[in-house]
Amino acid sequence: MDLLKPLIALLAIVNPIGVVPFFIHFTRNFSREERLRTMRISAFSAFVVIAVSALAGLKVIEFFGISLASFQVGGGCLLLISSLAMLNAQQADTRPDDVTEGDQKVDAGASIAVVPLTIPLLTGPATISTMVIYAEKTRHAWQLGVLVGYGVVIGLATYLAFMASGRIARVLGSTGINVMTRLMGLILAAMAVELLADGLIKLFPVLGSHLAR
């Protein structure tokens, strides 16, 4: 298994920089201490989602009796949909209802670090699908440990992006953030096609025989 692909896919899906505008919006009335606490909780929550998906995702699939190939095709489709949304400069895995609910929580003075910042803005179905698919490809415990370690990388990237949210917004502006989101969407689309092809060949071996000719 190419150990760099999961990290690249995670960075493209989670896209902490793309969530910066949402972070700024939801924490606009927060004090500095409340904002720092929100950063820490969001970063840790993102790590937990990724780590749990890598360690227990396969067991959940087996519990529901779903084949890995079917899940891989479904996950690939989900990644492709997410990439198309990102190519249109829309945050992947975002639903308007979630944003409205998060905005109401801000008005009520409650923490929005977990919902909607971590779920679904940072991590969502596409992130979980990606971790489950790559966890199935691991052959050694240390490879699974690397996937969990990538959760630490994503959590750190999230914290740093939120910490620099003010500077990022000033330097990139809305146009720059949209461009970054589109570039990551293009990378994610290519990976989604690769996952789809791999899953389809497993479901329909005859496709692999035709391609080999």
pLDDT > 70? residue 109: no
pLDDT > 70? residue 91: no
pTM above 0.85, yes or no: no
Q: How confident is the model at residue 179 (pLDDT cuts 50, 70, 90)?
A: confident
Which segments of the chain are extended strands (E)?
none
The total domain count for the chain is 1
Q: Is pLDDT larger for residue 105 or for residue 140? A: 140
Dump pLDDT digits (tens) for 182-209.
887 888 788 788 888 888 888 888 776 6
**In 15-31, where does DSSP find H-type helix?**
16-26
Query: Which range of residues forms the domain containing residue 208?
Result: 4-212
Residues 6+ apart with CB under 8 A from 55: 135, 144, 148
Instruction: Tell me what the mean pLDDT of segment 130-154 comes to.
Output: 92
In this structure, is the dihedral angle defined by the CA atoms of residues 147, 189, 79 and 90, taken in order, positive or negative? positive
**DSSP assignment, residue 140?**
S
Answer whether 75's CB lies under 8 Å from 130's CB: yes
pLDDT > 50? residue 92: no
Q: Classify the phi-psi angles of 109: left when phi > 0, otherwise alpha if psi is within -120 to 50, otherwise beta.
A: left
pLDDT > 70? residue 211: no
Q: Is pLDDT larger for residue 181 or for residue 152? A: 152
Q: Is pLDDT larger for residue 213 or for residue 77? A: 77
Dump pLDDT digits (tens) for 32-68.
888 999 999 999 999 999 999 999 987 887 888 887 7
Predicted local confidence at residue 107, as pLDDT: 40
Predicted local confidence at residue 95, as pLDDT: 43
pLDDT > 50? residue 124: yes
Predicted local confidence at residue 212, as pLDDT: 57
